[in-house]
Structure 1
């Protein structure tokens, strides 16, 4: 760095042009009279004394009398510390600008578009760790490795965690071991086609990004139940319903817990047709007040907009796409119970546990 560049840098650090030039000049001279400094620099003679005194006040130099006013550069330790501190703040500011550019304030937006997939993955990690009810995630094995710790935290907390794995390319991937899946999810399925990354948490948050080979690279973070519901149906129809399980902890005998109303109805309906008595506990919210509550009772009826399957077949998911609910009789009264987004029912169930089935 030459003298001119050093002078300019010191100006950027807060010195005036005259102060910066006088200090750089004095560094070259070692010590000199005020007159000699003025002659060797661009500082006018009438200004040199004020400039030197201001530099002394800021610990850049020290002055002394020797027939006339002289000056020499001060021990640079404090100056160097100040400059390095300023440099550190500039680096920190640059990092903060980059972070804010790539990741808008999540709390102030319902829908945020981000430029980096890492931002989507980081937010999914945070949300999964803090989940209260359920997690649905579609991802590649490499992305699974990134989120496995967060998924394990949710799984250990008793959160219903569904994982759909798919390849990043057309090459067949190496899937997580059964032992790994046992520590990270309730159920896992495999889709053999590359797909977008998606994570759904507690019916409110969605983290989404196109697959790696997509022409467009971006991410979407959604904090909105209506938008999340649309992604939920994408997960059900494209990533879940038509694919076989590669791991599952689902029980065939009570107690059996469901976080999805439609899955619950598909299992309950044949039992009711057989005349079985079904004891259940519903955890959820009152749709009119939002009050959280748990109700135990007997499921006596199911209601949905589609046409029931015939011949003992399970009702297709498409027939349950509209209104879908069941009626629960309890000691406190009769409740209609809906699933995600319930509005006309008495309760929105976040978790339904079939406690007993008496045939």
Structure 2
């Protein structure tokens, strides 16, 4: 390393340009008078005394009188320790910057990876209490009891709550009582196999953590409609569709409320085939503007990409996995109504209430 490079590094370490130049010069001279140091460096003669006193205060040199002011480099141990400490701090700072960049705070980004299940449960509790429309959640009985107060609060606020319970271990069928379920959810089902914790709130938030026997304990908290939509289909296919109901507050007489258009479509399709007039209110928003809307009218048709199975059998869920919509005739005109993620329809429905069947 040449003298100019060493001087530049010392400047980065906190010395002024004149101090760095004088110190590097003094290292080469060993000891010298102030005048000789000024002559061998680029430090102006009037500044040399102030520069040397500054270096002495920082511990780089020591001065002494010998007819005139002289200086010699201080024992470098302290200087070297300071430089190495600065290097370590820079390296630590670099690691911290990299760590903060790769694992950002939840408030600043849409996806957060956390290390503890408790963190996922705590965040799920907060989000469930703040829910406006729907909660879909798969969890163990122990986790159900951890979140029961939040689920009760959401249910009492009119939020549609669907719960899939599954055991911590395959041999543990500890199921909450009907009274507990009635106070916390709209409908509950039971899966006999252990599964990951997953909570979906208002089509926007997902809280996920793998099963307790997973190799690594971690959690994922997502604030994104697209990611949550993927988890929604995992919930439907793995935790809901194929499992038996253990509790339901739903009845067969209006008003009947749906937060899932596809379930609504399955129920109204046979009624339309029987010639029943279905009066409904659709709550949602316009797909092109995002403006919230409430429309009441008559459901006149259902459309989906799969083929009809006839009158004797409920349409399988996979037939509804593509485009699925209802047609609503109102006093203002006829509108197409899609479900979660609708793009081609006039409205994306967040809630549909069957008001009357005639």
- What is the TM-score with the length of structure 1 in the denominator? 0.70
Given that residues 104 and 114 in structure 1 are in contact (C-alpha distance below 8 angstroms), is that contact kept between their aligned partners in structure 2? no
Deviations 1:338-357 (A, max 9, x none): 00011110000000001111
- 8 Å CA contact 1:299–1:328 kept in 2: the answer is yes
Aligned to 2:17: none
Give the match's secondary structure for 1:175: coil
Q: How far 1:173 moved relative to its partner?
A: 2.9
1:319 corresponding residue in structure 2: 319
1:42 paired residue number: none
Aligned counterparts of 2:310 and 2:263: Cα–Cα separation in 1: 18
SS at match of 1:211: coil
Tell whether the 8 Å contact from 1:163 to 1:187 is kept in structure 2 after alignment: yes
Structure with greater Cα Rg: 2
Give the drift of 1:276. 1.1
**Cα pair 2:270 2:311 within 8 Å, conserved:** no
Q: Does residue 352 of structure 2 align to residue 352 of structure 1?
A: yes
Residues in 2 aligned to 1:167 and 1:348: alpha-carbon distance in whole angstroms = 35
Partner of residue 33, structure 1: none
SS in 2 for 1:145: helix
Take 2:278 and 2:149, find their aligned partners in 1: how far apart are those partners? 37
Aligned pair 1:285/2:323, yes or no? no
Q: How does 1:67-78 map to 2 (within 5 A)?
A: none
Q: Which residue pairs with 1:160 in the alignment?
A: 160
Unaligned runs of 5+ in 1: 1-99
Counterparts of 1:188 and 1:278 in 2: how far apart (Å)?
A: 27
Q: Please show how residues 183-194 of structure 1 align to structure 2 within 5 Å.
A: 183-194=183-194
Aligned twin of 2:113? 113
Mapped pair 1:221 → 2:209: no
State how far apart, in whole Å, the 2-side matches of 1:135 and 1:311 are. Answer: 31
The TM-score with structure 2 as length reference comes to: 0.71
Q: Please tell me whether residue 207 in structure 1 is matched to residue 207 in structure 2.
A: yes
Residue in 2 aligned with 1:265?
265
Cα RMSD (Å) of the superposition?
A: 1.4
What secondary structure sits across from 2:254 in the alignment? coil
Query: Which residue matches 2:299?
Result: 299
Matches within 5 A, 1:138-149: 138-149=138-149
Instruction: Give the distance between the partners of 1:314 and 1:173, measured in 2 at CA.
Output: 29
In the TM superposition, what is the alpha-carbon distance from 1:104 to its structure 2 partner? 5.2
Closer/same/farther in 2, CA of residues 311 and 282 from structure 1, 3 Å limit: closer
**Cα separation, 2, equivalents of 1:184 and 1:215:** 32
Runs of 4+ in 1 over 4 A off after TM superposition: none
Aligned partners of 1:117 and 1:307: how far apart in 2? 42
Contiguous gaps of at least 5 residues in structure 2: 1-99
How many residue pairs get matched?
Answer: 258
2:236 & 2:161 partners in 1: Cα distance? 14
CA distance in 2, matches of 1:157, 1:106: 27
Shift, 1:251, TM fit: 1.0
